[in-house]
Structure 1
Amino acid sequence: MLELAASLKRENPTRTVAQVARILRTATGWAPSESTLLRHFHRLDLMGPGGGEAAAVFGRFEAADPNELWVGDALHGPRVGDRKTYLFAFLDDHTRLAVGYRFGFAEDAVRLAAALRPALAARGVPAGIYVDNGSAFVDAWLLRACAKLGVRLVHSAPGRPQGRGKVERWFRSVREQFLIEVTDTSGEDLAAAGVDHATALLELNRLFVAWVETEYHRRVHTETGQSPLDRWEAGWDRLGRTPAMPTADELTEAFLWSEYRVVTKTATVSLHANTYQVDPALVGRKVELVFSPFDLETVEVRYRDKSYGKALPHTISRHTHPKAKPETPQPEPPAATGIDYLALTAAAHDEQLRGDERIGYYALYGQDDQIPGQLSIDDLQPTVDDNPEGEVSA
């Protein structure tokens, strides 16, 4: 067993002692104690500088109940097909439960929503969400979503990330226990495996879900003395209630985007190069345009919280919001083959005419490949004789 442990350490020197022990338990059902493994690795000189377990520093604050506070953050992930990935995650402060998480190819509001929306649907609505000042977390969309659901959104002061120790420690666990086992891949790797970027990203998320739900959520946390899942369930049992779950309509409304525009004298509004016709009664008013970032053809018009129905598309140049970039880019146009089909067809036709002796088309052609007289207007002139008087011959 110790030999296998040493092989695991040599295979990936950045694996911690605790990670090697976890792998052994998963693979064989048993593992030596971490102290035994540590002594063994030291004897084999497998513990380089910084190879021990670093002490973690945590803030003193802890939410008293589950869903009192979620802490959100982003972490750089592995490269998938030469493209960087980013992990958006939300951690329940009281239980350390990872309520929502997802890897994506961009660090933006769309990928943030992809992590937060399933969290709200599965774990309920928290009283507050605490995030930093990254561009995705200060986007107006997040403020609107929280306001619609009655969630207090708090941003940490720039340069003073107090209260973020728990999510930072969790990210450390993610790096040491999950990402350490993930290998960066190149575009050539994906091509050789017959896998595209979207499929590879789905697989990364599938493996991460398995690790979170099977390993992290069920392992006793060193600070709380309970596994995150047990602490979550115990917290709700103590409160004598269940999480406040949003309805499907509430979630849909919360995850719509909106922008404000002044209605022109012609009863139109513009939104990202698109023009829409609205109710003439709104001319001169500043209205709210509510829409899905993935569908700019369907835009609802609101004024003072009253709906004035759907705006009538007049000119549509963009079908999605500029920030709503797809997870994978549109495929590049294929390289030109250099084959001119019509030119080849014309050449084949010419060859056919010259070679078909049954009809004798070749006889029609002159030395310049033109049919004699086919472009001459002389042949179109009326025939006259040399009679200077212009008399008609008898």
Structure 2
Amino acid sequence: GERLRISRKTIDRWIRAYRAGGFEALAPIPRSTEPVTDRRLLELAESLKREVPKRTAAQVAEIIGAAEGSGPSSRTIQRHFARLGLNTRPDGSPPQAFGRFEAAAPLDLWTGDALHGPVIAGRKTYLFAFIDDHSRALVGYRFGVSEDTLRLEAAFRSALAARGVPKCCYLDNGSAMVSKQLLRACASLGVRLVHSRPGRPQGRGKIERFFETVRIQFLVEIEARPPDTLAELNRLFSAWVETVYHRRIHGETGEAPIDRLLAAGPPVLPTMAALHEAFLWSEKRTVTKVATISMHSNVFEVDAALVGSRVEVVFDPFDLATVEIRFQGRSMGQGVPVKIGRYSHPQARPEAAPAAPPTGIDYLGLIVARREAELAEASKPTDYAQL
């Protein structure tokens, strides 16, 4: 326990109280004060809150002032609502209890999210990351310049290739995380994809806590020494994760995240062929009467037996000139290009190419030097002896 110093005056007061009333006299006397505010106004405030539970204390105080001419302050009404249990939720209902949860084993559950990162080379960056719920290890991560499906898939694909295939992946409802292409990738690998309910972020606490660690331990160093390129930013972040975060004892689990992740042995990794198939994109098209399909300004000829059928077109988003036609889950061969209008998907925007190294040639400076040389030559006095 904690050591305390008691004054002689306090001890004498306790002795007098004990002799006068016994042990019960030593118990502190509970405070009981009558509210100074008119009880009628407090009852009116309670009635107004129960009438419309979404009314705030400030709104109730405004209504009472308009109806009665004057009334208690919003802070007084708020304390009154707290005593009655009316301010726990906007609708007046009791707060919902949330239990603590942790996955039973590694790869049972991954949680993914995105964090707004620093500005690099004049462009805003975003960190896509996936954390293993059981070990708190960061299984996949990548900074990108767009908050889109392509960058999310890049982080997810690196996680699958390095750490194995999880049973479940838990994401929010951002546009990149509800795309049909990500759903196809998860379905191909047997991963259950779950999205949180809008406005209910309680299940993503671990990834949010990790992002807070990134802000106060990594991004502060980036602000002091900003990298020149996105590749350099990813290199620095990878070094920090693998050297610092993964090897430090976690305050909740009592183990280093990487040790807890690998405690059951190395995971079973998917084959390269399985990963390639999972991250191909697909779209549905109806075969025309002339046995062709159109997709993003491209036209392909397909098997004539598929005329009028709804087929699945499978392709690499960076190579729209090559597509595979599937019907009812079976491959029907590749489409024969008839017209190629574009070679990449509209949503497949590559990262900006790094700036070319400077040559050191000052073209305008060379022109100025030549002009000054011409002026100097023209300003020389005429030597008539040489004429």
**Same structural fold, with TM-score higher than 0.5 when normalized by the shorter chain:** yes
How far the C-alpha of 1:244 sits from its partner, in A, is: 3.0
CA distance in 1, matches of 2:258, 2:354: 40
**Structure with more contact order per residue of length (Cα contacts < 8 Å, sep ≥ 6):** 1
How far the C-alpha of 1:183 sits from its partner, in A, is: 2.4
**Are residues 1:328 and 2:352 paired?**
yes
How far the C-alpha of 1:113 sits from its partner, in A, is: 1.1
**Are residues 1:145 and 2:185 paired?**
yes
CA distance in 2, matches of 1:132, 1:243: 26
With normalisation by structure 2, the TM-score equals 0.65
Please, which of 207, 215, 224 is the counterpart of residue 167 of structure 1? 207
Following superposition of structure 1 onto structure 2, how do residues 9-158 of structure 1 map, counting pairs within 5 Å? 60-158=100-198
Following superposition of structure 1 onto structure 2, how do residues 187-206 of structure 1 map, counting pairs within 5 Å? 200-206=229-235
Query: Is the CA contact 1:71–1:131 (under 8 Å) kept in the aligned structure 2?
Result: yes
Q: Return the letter of the residue paired with 2:238.
A: V
How far the C-alpha of 1:128 sits from its partner, in A, is: 0.3
CA distance in 2, matches of 1:64, 1:216: 22
Please, which of 313, 319, 322 is the counterpart of residue 289 of structure 1? 313
How far the C-alpha of 1:66 sits from its partner, in A, is: 0.1
- Indicate how the Cα distance of structure 1 residues 306 and 217 shifts in structure 2: closer, same or farther if over 3 A, else same: same
Query: Is the CA contact 1:80–1:184 (under 8 Å) kept in the aligned structure 2?
Result: no
How far the C-alpha of 1:184 sits from its partner, in A, is: 8.4
Counterpart secondary structure, 2:107: coil
Counterpart secondary structure, 2:223: coil
How far the C-alpha of 1:65 sits from its partner, in A, is: 0.2
The equivalent of 2:343 in structure 1 is 319
In the TM superposition, what whole-angstrom CA distance separates every residue of 1:228-263 from its partner, at most 9, and x where no partner exists? 0111122x15xxxx4232111100000000000000
Q: Return the letter of the residue paired with 1:158.
A: P
CA distance in 2, matches of 1:313, 1:93: 46
The equivalent of 1:211 in structure 2 is 240
Please, which of 221, 226, 229 is the counterpart of residue 258 of structure 2? 229
Counterpart secondary structure, 1:177: helix
- Could you list the runs of 5+ residues in structure 1 that have no partner in the other structure? 1-57, 332-336, 338-394
CA distance in 2, matches of 1:183, 1:267: 57
Query: Is the CA contact 1:78–1:184 (under 8 Å) kept in the aligned structure 2?
Result: no
Q: Return the letter of the residue paired with 1:228.
A: P
CA distance in 2, matches of 1:151, 1:161: 21
CA distance in 2, matches of 1:265, 1:330: 46
CA distance in 1, matches of 2:128, 2:292: 38
Counterpart secondary structure, 2:269: coil
CA distance in 1, matches of 2:278, 2:205: 29
Counterpart secondary structure, 1:183: helix
Please, which of 222, 231, 242 is the counterpart of residue 182 of structure 1? 222
Please, which of 303, 307, 320 is the counterpart of residue 331 of structure 2? 307
Query: Is the CA contact 1:59–1:164 (under 8 Å) kept in the aligned structure 2?
Result: no
- Could you list the runs of 5+ residues in structure 2 that have no partner in the other structure? 1-97, 356-362, 364-387
The equivalent of 2:30 in structure 1 is none
- Indicate how the Cα distance of structure 1 residues 184 and 320 shifts in structure 2: closer, same or farther if over 3 A, else same: farther
How far the C-alpha of 1:218 sits from its partner, in A, is: 0.2
Query: Is the CA contact 1:88–1:112 (under 8 Å) kept in the aligned structure 2?
Result: yes
- Indicate how the Cα distance of structure 1 residues 330 and 101 shifts in structure 2: closer, same or farther if over 3 A, else same: closer
CA distance in 1, matches of 2:288, 2:299: 11
Please, which of 273, 279, 285 is the counterpart of residue 255 of structure 1? 279
Q: Return the letter of the residue paired with 1:309.
A: G
Paired residues, number: 259
CA distance in 2, matches of 1:296, 1:273: 10
Q: Return the letter of the residue paired with 2:313.
A: L
Q: Return the letter of the residue paired with 1:205.
A: N
Q: Which 4+ residue blocks in structure 1 deviate beyond 4 angstroms?
A: none
Counterpart secondary structure, 1:163: helix
CA distance in 1, matches of 2:203, 2:273: 33
CA distance in 2, matches of 1:74, 1:284: 42
The equivalent of 1:3 in structure 2 is none
CA distance in 2, matches of 1:122, 1:232: 12
Of the structure 1 ranges 123-132 and 159-168, higher mean CA displacement relative to structure 2 is found in 159-168
- Indicate how the Cα distance of structure 1 residues 184 and 135 shifts in structure 2: closer, same or farther if over 3 A, else same: farther
